[in-house]
Amino acid sequence: MQLPLGCNTSVTLASTYAPTITNPDEDKFYEELDSLISSVPQSEKLVILGDFNARVGTDHQAWHNIIGKHGVGKCNSNGLLLLRTCASHDLNIRNTMFRLPNRNKTTWMHPCSLHWHQIDYVIARVKDRQDVILTKAMCGADCWTNHPLIIS
């Protein structure tokens, strides 16, 4: 979805749902995401929202400007794909930028381990970081899913 912002600029909003790690279509998803990102001119703002089924972890030094100091847990294979995609397009993952309690960062509980993970993200261009002052999970928001609502 493209929304005009005035002053000859606009924002493109993309809503995504990535396959799980066990799904053979995960590489196809990242190819399509790469194509979508490439189609949005650098002069426009870009915000990608969604359930990426990816854990990007906490290694903010290795992924400088891609993730912040406030990630959760360890990176998984989908997380690595997402981090590489963000790095190649100068995007950062806003959920990891804010110091919040884990209940306001995590968005999914693993049914076996009962551990909470951060797998839903708001992603935008690094150059537009001043446009987002907070991104967090809304505990208890009734949105007909087993994931809390993310606001940004």
Amino acid at 121: Y
Listing DSSP states for 7-39 in one string gives TTEEEEEEEEEPPPTT-TTHHHHHHHHHHHHHH
Looking at residue 3, its pLDDT comes to: 85
Number of domains within the chain: 1
Please give the helix or strand (H or E) that residue 93 lies within, else none: strand 91-93
Q: Domain of residue 108: give its range.
A: 2-151
Q: Backbone phi, then psi, for 5, in 5-degree steps?
A: -110, -5
Residue 120 near residue 108, CB atoms below 8 Å: yes
The pLDDT score that the predictor gives to residue 5 is 85
pLDDT, mean of each 10-residue run, the chain (152 residues): 84 91 79 96 94 94 96 92 96 95 87 88 94 85 70 87
Amino acid 107: pLDDT: 85
pTM metric for this prediction: 0.90
